[in-house]
Structure 1
Amino acid sequence: MIALTPIGSQSVRPQLLLYPLGVWALMAVVAVLNGGFREVVLIPRVGEYPGHVLSTAMLVLAILGISFGYFQWTAVEYTQVELLLVGVLWTVFTVGFEFLVGYVENTPVSVTLGQYNVFAGQVWIAVPLTLLVSPLLFGWYLS
């Protein structure tokens, strides 16, 4: 049984956040490779929108697998607040990376923001949401 303690009563050990940052770097490499696979293989075969959906689903599964593997493998016992912080960091770094790439490629901010518009059929929001919740999910589940 998972015992939940008040988050305010937990402290954060900043040195333990370095390991998950390395995990995020691995996820970033996987995301870039996934994007290349989407452009070279998926979109020519299934089209733009189905390729986007398939690629997003593949990335979500990869993130879940990497996160599960990390929290199963690590000897570190993270507090709930640390797990929440890991998820927030992974999410902020990913969204920041998306906007940085958009800036470097001279992509208008409105186009980058449009990737998060679920009302326009965009499913990319599943990636940052997965990054946010997977540390909590697997950190609690595997502890």
Structure 2
Amino acid sequence: MRSRATREEGRTDGVRVRVLGRPFAVWVLMAVIAVLNGGFRETVLVSWLGERVAHVVSTALLVATILLVASGFFRSTSIDYRRRELAIIGVCWTVLTVGFEFLVGYVEGTPVSVTLGQYDVFAGQVWIAVPVTLLVAPLLFGRVLRRR
């Protein structure tokens, strides 16, 4: 009879917790990039383009950067992530980002209603593209495009 550890190694549907550390480090990098992007938006883009257009341009730049970072990470890693692990990575990246957003808002004294308003696509907000990108990028680059 095989030991539990041996059985777990042979499973193809389990989650290997030990392989989730590197994607967390990638999220930290993306968080730093997002903060720099926000600074760039406020110090440069707003004065050039106005608040609304600067927000859209900044969001598009951040989405493109997230895609580049995620693509680079999943192309360069030697780990063959399982579909479930990629889904967990996407959910974690999204939860960490939204949590970070609300934490920063809280520290700055921004009402929760204002932070929530940034996710209102019916009001013309585009920020939702960032968490959606974070959610799907691991599956896209870790599974779909990696097979090519």
Give the TM-score band, short-chain normalised: over 0.9
Please list the CA deviations of residues 69-124 of structure 1 after superposition, one character each: whole Å capped at 9, or x if unmatched: 00000000100000000000000000000000011011100000000000111000
Q: 1:118 and 2:139 equivalent?
A: no
The Cα shift of 1:68 comes to 0.1
In 2: Cα distance, 1:109 partner to 1:72 partner: 37
Task: Extract unaligned runs of 5+ from structure 2.
Answer: 1-11
In 2: Cα distance, 1:98 partner to 1:78 partner: 28
RMSD: 0.7
> What stretches of structure 1 move > 3 A for 4+ residues in a row?
none
In 1: Cα distance, 2:59 partner to 2:108 partner: 21
Aligned residues: 135
In 1: Cα distance, 2:146 partner to 2:15 partner: 19
Q: In terms of Rg, which structure is larger?
A: 2
- Aligned-residue sequence identity (percent) comes to 63
TM-score, structure 2 normalization: 0.90
In 1: Cα distance, 2:18 partner to 2:39 partner: 33
Please list the CA deviations of residues 26-76 of structure 1 after superposition, one character each: whole Å capped at 9, or x if unmatched: 000000000000001100000000000000000000000000000000000
In 2: Cα distance, 1:97 partner to 1:15 partner: 24
**Which one of 11, 17, 20 corresponds to residue 20 of structure 2?**
17
Task: Extract unaligned runs of 5+ from structure 1.
Answer: 1-8
